[in-house]
Amino acid sequence: MFWISQNIDRTLEIVVPHWDDFVNKGGYDNVKYPEKVYEDHLIPDEISNKWVKESLIWKYGKWNQYINGNSIPSTQEKAIKKFTDSLNILISLKNLGKPSRCQETLEPFPATSSIFLSHLMFPGFWAIVDQHNVRFLHWVHLQVEKCKIESSSPWDVSKELNEFQSTLANKLHTTKREIDKFMMSFGKKLRRGVEVLNFKNKNRSIVNKIHFKEIDWIIYFPSKGNEGRQLVNFGVAYRDRV
């Protein structure tokens, strides 16, 4: 991630206040994602159907339903079955010990689930990919580079996240795991107000909004309008809450 190495001071300027808030107040959902379960499945001694099923149930946020005997969505059950039916592939990957082979080997399987299992086997190479930490990554890039990250495959995103988390962990004197939890927590906040935060990347101006309750639309615009901005940088957005 060339933009990080070239803009590390600016990246830290943006991230540190939110990191300090996370350290002081928390925010990671340890109830939905029990940390001990994650740790127990990290770098497994052996690959088994039980390991695959429990790992993915945790990833899907359904651990408490699972241990209480409740069913999980059928789509997630089907995804788990794809991996348990091909257990030998995962076993061979672990025995081979070459994390770079995960991508080409698991390409036919669901991407984010494949990446998560690869992360558990090789946490130093693959990072967890979910909507929240990806949203956080894109938001930071928008603040630093004033442009969006070009779309790429989930596997490439995992590598970018791994490098990003390693850099932040080193600079903030913490672990990659804590950075991942921080990114997931803050990424959830961005989901509730990403349009507002995006407008702050130019002049740091406060964003105003109007809520049209009859149609349940929220219109966002810079507090000082678009005065002085080029047309391509005009800031207006709406959210259809229905």
> Which of 42-46, 119-123, 136-140, 182-186 has the least mean pLDDT?
136-140
pLDDT of residue 197: 45
Residue 160 structure tokens: 């970018």
Rounded CA separation 3/141 (Å): 8
- In a shared domain, residues 210 and 182: no
Q: What is the mean pLDDT of residues 175-192?
A: 92
Digit-coded pLDDT (tens) for 154-169: 999 999 999 999 999 9
Is the CB of residue 221 less than 8 Å from the CB of residue 196?
Answer: no
Longest dimension (CA), the chain: 61
Q: Is residue 38 part of a domain?
A: no
Rounded CA separation 237/222 (Å): 10
Q: Is residue 53 part of a domain?
A: yes
* Residue 213 structural domain: 204-240
- In a shared domain, residues 150 and 176: yes
| pLDDT band of 34, cuts 50, 70, 90 | very high
Q: What is the mean pLDDT of residues 187-203?
A: 58
Digit-coded pLDDT (tens) for 100-144: 999 999 999 999 999 999 999 999 999 999 999 999 998 998 888
pLDDT of residue 190: 86
Is pTM beyond 0.75? Reply is yes
Rounded CA separation 201/148 (Å): 11
- In a shared domain, residues 133 and 191: yes
User: Among all chains, which residue has been given the structure tokens 């088994």?
Assistant: 48
| 145 pLDDT more than 90 | no
